[in-house]
């Protein structure tokens, strides 16, 4: 039995066999094969090598025919590498000795050969390691052509997925139905992979150091996604304890489900709207199941998946209309493309430091087409129900102008074309860049609503990368700077009579949620599964107690002191008495 500790980011307990992912250009799985499958893997490898040989020969022939391309000889080197027994024979030996799949064997041989190449003193030979990558990449690609080749979007069974990291686009495409739990070496609670794990209801632990080395493929693994605990090859006693905890979770879940139809009203009668954050349209059903009274954030960029193309207008209208239908009569807030910060954009990120680079509305200047298409689709879908348009990553009034101009142009265009559009489709923005927070008073008169995006706001305000486990302890939602800024945003919005929502992960923590109520926020949007617990806390508190607690925060110097005070003050003010989970 081996116990690894990371950070729990998606609650629940799961038990199952580990599937370890090593990612090179494409993910490579290490799969154990039964004895009678080994020769099948050798056969796959042989076929992939033969296909690669044919392709390389064809490229070489084509280039040789062009007099002005003198580099056909490079492909001779590639063909020679392909024939080298060091490569194919070794890979076959790995398959036969370790009973693994062809992809993994090739990966293992590649590591050995790279080590050998790196040891050469002659620069010419050292540089050939790039050719080696080309050749191996080609064989991997040809192996991927097998009809049963596993991929992240088509897992070879139900597994606990263990990976160094997953990009958001890989996570978006993941075969979540077959992921029992997720264990990653990188990551943090507010990165998009963790957010997706929560919305898919899959227990997950991140920042689990050396997970891909410590967890053998196929080993039985228990993942406790609340505590961030991963147990490899658990003893019978440990397994029994986890099974009992799993049963407790199920009972608690059932209890919370019963709050679904109860109103989110404080003890002194103040209504709070609890909305859901969703990434996929199919999640609307889950949102309703947990009692969401609207969608406070639809991260539209997930419609892109890993597609190299932006979705067309008609398809988008259909998706948005369907969402409105499913949520009717509740509102649906759709965020325009927030692409560029991670890999969620056709073509991937373009800036060297994407979090501070050409992201979301900043891309509008260079490439307005996709934003225009989306805006038209949103306005058209707005004729079908209460849709709200939300603009991400606005840094201040000057960023807002081109976006609002685009809305006006699209409106005019649609009326000229005689197309239906919503008469009043509110346009709001996410306050997630500190400069927007500081100029909230100037922004408030230009839009219809604010939603505070604390996931990014905290990262930029505190200069703490939200996805880097090394600085995760510094990512403090209760930092005095964060609370003061939220208070100012609410004040600026209030002066203009603007509604303020909060759609960062902070809203999902009952303790934080009550402080937000204390500051005057009346709409909270969160992962659907978090709603019942937050509703329970809302129903147990009075606004007066929440306000006192929020004000008391402002005179304390550190997040730690604020948290201790809140736990003490608020827990004792709750009726029925409730404790906040550590």
Residues of this chain that bind ligand PEP (CB under 6 A): 297, 299, 338, 432, 453-456, 503-504
Q: Report in angstroms how near the CB of residue 394 gets to Mg ion at its nearest.
A: 11
Residue 504 near which of Mg ion, ligand PEP, none (CB within 5-8 Å, type-dependent): ligand PEP
Q: Judged by CB under 5 A, which of 432, 509, 523, 536 binds Mg ion?
A: 432
Cα-based distances in Å from 301 to 292, 317, 334, 377, 451: 21, 14, 10, 14, 18
Binding part of the chain for Mg ion, among 178-186, 445-453, 486-494, 522-530 by CB under 5 A, reads 445-453
- Among candidate residues 107, 410, 479, 503, the one labeled active-site is 503
State which residue has the least CB distance to Mg ion: 456
Segment 455 to 514, residues that bind Mg ion, using CB under 5 A:
456
Annotation marks residue 192 as catalytic: yes
Give start and end residues of each alpha helix (H) in 66-159: 72-83, 88-98, 102-119, 123-127, 129-144
The listed partner (Mg ion, ligand PEP, none) that binds 296, CB under 5 to 8 Å by sort, is: none
Quick one: 419 or 484, whose CB is closer to ligand PEP?
A: 484
Q: State the binding partner of 297 from Mg ion, ligand PEP, none, CB within 5 to 8 A by kind.
A: ligand PEP
| Pairs from 411-414 (Cβ < 8 Å, separation ≥ 24) | 411/379, 413/376, 414/376, 414/379, 414/380
Measured between alpha carbons, how far is 416 from 485 in angstroms, rounded to an integer?
Answer: 43
Shortest distance, position 456 Cβ to Mg ion, whole Å: 4
Q: Tell me the closest approach of the beta carbon of residue 191 to ligand PEP, in angstroms.
A: 8
**Nearer residue to ligand PEP within complex by CB, 493 or 541:** 493
Whether residue 523 contacts residue 500, with contact meaning beta carbons closer than 8 Å, is answered with: yes
Say whether 410 is catalytic: no
The torsion defined by the Cα of 17, 22, 26 and 27, in degrees rounded to 10, comes to: 10
Q: Which stretch binds Mg ion (CB under 5 A): 89-97, 118-126, 343-351, 453-461?
A: 453-461
Tell me how far, at minimum, the Cβ of 268 lies from ligand PEP, in Å.
29
Binding to Mg ion by residue 191, rule CB under 5 A? no
> Which partner in Mg ion, ligand PEP, none is near 349 (CB below 5 to 8 A by kind)?
none
Tell me if the bond preceding 576 is cis, omega within 30° of 0. yes
Closest to Mg ion by CB, 41 vs 432, is 432
Between 338 and 509, name the residue whose CB sits nearer to ligand PEP: 338
Least distance to ligand PEP, CB of residue 456, Å? 3
Report in angstroms how near the CB of residue 461 gets to ligand PEP at its nearest: 11
Nearer to ligand PEP, 382 or 392 (CB): 392
CB-CB contact of 137 with 143 (8 Å) = no
SS3 307: coil
Stretch that binds Mg ion, among 137-145, 169-177, 289-297, 450-458 (CB under 5 A): 450-458
Q: Which of 453, 469, 528, 532 binds Mg ion (CB under 5 A)?
A: 453
Residue 356 to residue 354: CA distance in whole angstroms: 5
Catalytic residue among 107, 192, 384, 512: 192
User: In this structure, how many other beta carbons lie within 10 angstroms of the beta carbon of residue 411?
Assistant: 16
CB of 410 to ligand PEP, least distance (A): 23
Inter-residue contact 220 to 1 (CB < 8 Å): no
Which pair of structure tokens corresponds to residue 417? 């074309």
DSSP letters, 484-542, are HHHHHHHHHHHHTT--EEE-SGGGGSHHHHHHHHHTT--EEEE-GGGHHHHHHHHHH--
Select from 360, 543, 529 the least CA-distant residue to 436. 360
Contact partner, 358, from ligand PEP, Mg ion, none, Cβ < 5-8 Å per class: none
Token pair in block for residue 505: 């992960």
Q: Is 296 helix (H, G, I), strand (E, B) or coil?
A: strand
Residues known to be catalytic: 192, 503
Site residues, Mg ion (CB under 5 A): 432, 453, 456
């Amino acid at each position: 039995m081996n116990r690894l500790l990371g950070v729990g980011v998606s609650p629940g307990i799961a038990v199952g066999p580990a599937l370890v992912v090593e990612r090179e250009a494409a993910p490579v799985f290490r799969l154990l094969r039964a004895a009678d499958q080994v020769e099948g893997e050798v056969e796959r490898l042989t076929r992939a090598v033969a296909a690669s040989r044919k392709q390389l020969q064809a490229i070489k022939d084509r280039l040789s025919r062009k007099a002005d391309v003198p580099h056909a000889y490079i492909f001779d080197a590639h063909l020679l590498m392909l024939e080298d027994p060091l490569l194919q024979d070794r890979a076959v030996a790995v398959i036969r000795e370790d009973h693994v799949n062809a992809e993994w064997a090739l990966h293992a041989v590649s590591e050995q050969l790279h080590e050998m190449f790196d040891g050469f003193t002659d620069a010419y030979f050292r540089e050939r390691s790039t050719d080696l990558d080309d050749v191996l990449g080609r064989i991997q690609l040809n192996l991927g052509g097998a009809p049963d080749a596993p991929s992240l979007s088509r897992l070879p069974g139900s597994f606990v997925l263990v990976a160094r990291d997953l990009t958001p686009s890989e996570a978006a495409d993941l075969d979540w139905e077959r992921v029992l739990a997720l264990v990653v070496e990188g990551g943090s609670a507010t990165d998009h992979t963790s957010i997706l794990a929560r919305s898919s209801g899959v227990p997950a632990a991140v920042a689990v150091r050396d997970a891909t080395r410590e967890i053998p493929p196929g080993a039985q693994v228990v993942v406790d996604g609340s505590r961030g605990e991963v147990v490899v090859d658990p003893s019978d006693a440990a397994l029994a304890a986890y099974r009992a905890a799993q049963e407790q979770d199920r009972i608690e879940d059932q209890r919370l489900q019963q709050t679904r139809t109860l109103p989110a009203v404080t003890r002194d009668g103040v209504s709070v709207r609890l909305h859901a954050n969703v990434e996929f349209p199919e999640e609307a059903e889950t949102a309703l199941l947990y009692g969401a009274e609207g969608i406070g954030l639809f991260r539209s960029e997930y419609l892109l998946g890993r597609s190299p193309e932006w979705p067309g207008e008609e398809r988008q209208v259909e998706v948005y209309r369907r969402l409105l239908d499913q949520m009717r009569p509740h509102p649906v807030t759709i965020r325009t493309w927030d692409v560029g910060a991670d890999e969620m954009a056709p073509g991937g990120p373009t800036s060297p430091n994407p979090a501070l680079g050409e992201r979301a509305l900043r891309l509008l200047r260079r490439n307005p087409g996709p934003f225009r298409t989306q805006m038209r689709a949103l306005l058209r879908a707005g004729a079908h129900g209460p849709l709200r348009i939300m603009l991400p990553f606005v840094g201040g009034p000057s960023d807002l102008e081109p976006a609002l101009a685009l809305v006006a142009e699209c409106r005019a265009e649609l009326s000229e074309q005689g197309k239906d559009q919503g008469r009043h489709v509110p346009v709001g923005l996410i306050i997630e860049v500190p400069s927007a927070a500081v100029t909230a008073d100037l922004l408030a008169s230009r839009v219809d609503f604010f939603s505070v995006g604390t996931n990014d706001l905290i990262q930029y305000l505190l200069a703490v990368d939200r996805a880097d486990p090394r600085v995760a302890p510094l990512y403090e939602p209760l930092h005095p700077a964060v609370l003061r800024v939220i208070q100012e945003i609410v004040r600026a919005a209030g002066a203009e009579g603007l509604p303020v929502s909060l759609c960062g992960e902070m809203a999902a923590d009952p303790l934080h949620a009550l402080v937000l109520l204390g500051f005057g926020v009346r709409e909270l949007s969160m992962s659907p599964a978090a709603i019942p617990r937050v509703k329970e806390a809302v129903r147990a508190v009075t606004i007066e107690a929440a306000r006192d607690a929020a004000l008391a925060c402002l005179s304390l110097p550190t997040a730690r002191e604020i948290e201790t005070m809140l736990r003490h003050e608020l827990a004792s003010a709750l009726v029925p008495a409730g404790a906040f989970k550590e």
